[in-house]
A = this chain, B = another copy of it.
């Protein structure tokens, strides 16, 4: 026995989810059919509404339902700071740090082998955003990976002539880790970036 056409179609469709292979798709499809049909219908509706209703903020390029997102509209944020990240989830992460400036969201990082050049990831839009704003500092918060570093350096070089402080987030040992588990490159960054410790502070 093979599955009936509608179940097969559902299994195929579920495979677009990241990390879902054939077996997981089968189990998920039958789980939904047997245990949670109302949840599955809600999911179908949520998918459709989100795909049709969510676009990109014209200013920061993050996902947004309005032309300009709430974060860009918020008048209490610092208009001097612009933080560049690789994706919308990174905005969430940086927010948790207490940062309260503006953002610009790239569409990933430079990756020439995958055909992703400056235009594909939104560098022209970033330059445009810098023209329109009056920022005093640009914080490059791309991922601490080879591609993220390369993207940060590329942007820094592009803007070298501008009257703008360009900074990169610090590399070092993450809080809560154990030194013996940390790789050599991270540790050499941590040593090079060492700071005087004043016990009276």
Contacts and interface: CB of A to CB of B under 8 A. Distances in A.
A116 interface: no
A5 B65 contact: yes
B51 A40 contact: yes
Nearest to A19: B24
Interface in A110-167: none
Given A1-B95, A7-B63, A54-B4, A42 B13 contact: yes
A47 B43 contact: yes
Contacts of A39: 13, 16
Nearest to A60: B1
A44 to B, nearest CB: 4
Contacts of A41: 47-48, 51
Contacts of A3: 63, 92
Interface string A10-39: 101110111100001011111111101101
A30 B63 contact: yes
Contact of A44 (B31, B33, B48, B107): B48
Interface of A: 1, 3-7, 9-10, 12-14, 16-19, 24, 26-34, 36-37, 39-51, 53-54, 63-65, 69-71, 87-89, 91-92, 95, 107
